Amino acid sequence: MGVMACGRRGCEEILCTRTVLEGNRYICEGCYQELLVYKDTWALGTTIPDVRDLIEGFMDSCKGLYAPASGDDIDREFERLTS
C-alpha cells in the first residue's frame, strides 16, 4: 500500500483513503470534516460549477481555517471584534 498524503495545503496527514475532485486529490478525515463545515457556509445561490471552484479553493487553504468553533469561542471572538 502506497502513501496517500492529504492533498490540502499544509496538511501532513498520510494514508488518506477518501478522495475529492473526481478522485484527483486525497483528503484526510480531519480536512474532510472542515470541508463539511465550509460547505455549510456556501451561499444559497451557489451553482453546480461553483462547487468545484469552492472545493479547489478549500484544498488550497490552510488546515484549521474552517475548523468548527464552539459557542464559547464564537462569543469570545464576537466580543473581541465588537468591543
Show the domain range for 51.
Answer: 18-82
Q: Is the pLDDT of residue 1 over 50?
A: no
Count of structural domains, the chain: 1
> Confidence band (pLDDT; 50, 70, 90) for 2?
low
Domain assignment of residue 2, yes or no: no
- Residues 17-76 pLDDT 10s: 899 999 999 999 999 999 999 999 898 889 999 999 999 999 999 888 887 777 788 888
Whether the model clears a pTM of 0.85, i.e. scores above it, the answer is no
Domain assignment of residue 53, yes or no: yes
- The rounded distance, in Å, linking the Cα atoms of 82 and 1 is 51
DSSP secondary structure letters along 35-56: HHHHHTTS-TT--HHHHHHHHH
Q: What's the one-letter identity of residue 70?
A: S
**Contact indicator for 26, 16 with CB cutoff of 8 Å:** yes
- Residues 6-17 pLDDT 10s: 999 999 999 898
What does the pLDDT read at residue 50?
A: 94
Domain assignment of residue 10, yes or no: no
